[in-house]
A and B are shown apart, each in its own frame.
Chain A
């Protein structure tokens, strides 16, 4: 990704359609913030994987099977 696609600012530029965040010079805290964000990305992946394999009402393994059968029937 090109550097130009990032915005560095003290304001909250997501209000202008971009996003960046710098509010202090605490390196450890900011490093934690980045790590937490990456953890959230990974947790979202697990969340999606879980949903794709489960019925939304919580019956394990049924939803993915139904969806595959529906796809096969319609195809």
Chain B
């Protein structure tokens, strides 16, 4: 009986570990779409474009500068070699499944933050749309 309880608990612990691993990545929060107000610029040349996307600064750890690529814009990337990359590939599959085959997120890439979690940014997607001409 004790061994069965231990086995069940080990199983639960293993499952929690897997799920925890599936939650160690996130998409950068507070991303904004902006337009430059040129009347307030001192040097017009510093900002060549009027429209921009801005991501918040990401507090990174010692190895935070290394860009981690998981999938490409039109390739599935390398085969997952650890739980993190497996989790992110699973998310890409999930997006296709959840959208009923109409959207899949691609170009999944990111940096490790100071807590070791991977912050993803600059995501792309492919969509499948059926156009019906009446």
Binding site for B on A (CB under 8 A): 1, 5-8, 10, 14-22, 24-27, 30-31, 33-34, 36-41, 43-44, 46-48, 50-52, 55-56, 63, 66-67, 70
24 of the cross-chain contacts (CB-CB < 8 Å) are A1-B56, A6-B55, A8-B52, A8-B54, A14-B55, A17-B65, A19-B57, A21-B122, A22-B51, A22-B54, A24-B49, A30-B33, A37-B53, A40-B105, A40-B123, A40-B125, A41-B27, A43-B105, A47-B94, A52-B19, A55-B15, A63-B15, A66-B12, A70-B16
Q: Mark B11-52, 1 if CB is under 8 A from A, else 0.
A: 010011011001100111111110100000000000111111
Per the bound structure, the CA–CA distance linking A31 and B12 in Å amounts to 43
The 3 lowest CB-CB distance pairs between A and B, nearest first, are A19-B55, A18-B57, A22-B52
* Interface residues of B, Cβ cutoff 8 Å to A: 9, 12, 15-16, 18-19, 22-23, 26-33, 35, 47-60, 64-65, 67, 91, 94-95, 98, 105, 111, 120-125
Could you say which residues of chain A place their CB within 8 Å of the CB of B60?
A: 17
Report yes or no: B59 in contact with A17, Cβ–Cβ below 8 A.
Answer: yes
Closest Cβ neighbor of B22 among chain A residues: A51
